[in-house]
Homo-oligomer: A and B are copies of this chain.
Amino acid sequence: MSLRDLLTSMLAEVEGAFAVMLMGYDCIAIDEVQQGEAGFDVQTMAVEYGTVIKEIRRTIELVGAGAMEEIVISTTGSRMIIRVLNDEFFAAFVLAKDGNLGKARYQLRMRALQLVESVS
């Protein structure tokens, strides 16, 4: 399955999801698929978060708190779940506030290997 097809099928599985994306730590989106209207620039947010995620990883290593796995950021209007795939990539869902976070988490876990393989 191509990366685009994979992301499209992941997005279709999660109620209330605005976007799913595969990102590099250089803050460049490898690919992303969107649906519906988030009301804000999903890609800009993801790119900005790339920098933040690098910082969080550095902190976790600094204090010896294990390896980073996942971050969930909740705002008044949306949620974003970010999952580390390996040293190069992370994947993320952007959801409506009442979107299905559990299913997004499950998709990110289950498809982690496929996502990495689709770009190697």
Complex Cα distance A48/B63, Å?
Answer: 10
Q: Are B75 and A48 in contact (CB under 8 A)?
A: no
In the complex with contacts A72-B71, A72-B72, A56-B52 CB distance below 8 A: yes
Q: Out of B38, B44, B66, B74, which one reaches A71, CB within 8 Å?
A: B74
Among residues of B, the one whose C-beta sits closest to the C-beta of A58 is B48
Size category of the A interface is: 20 to 34
In contact, A45 and B59 (Cβ under 8 angstroms): yes
Tell me, in angstroms, the Cα distance from A64 to B45 when the chains sit together. 9
Q: What CA separation (Å) do A39 and B64 show in the bound complex?
A: 8
* Contact A76 B66, beta carbon cutoff 8 Å: yes
Residues of B with C-beta under 8 A to A78: 65-66
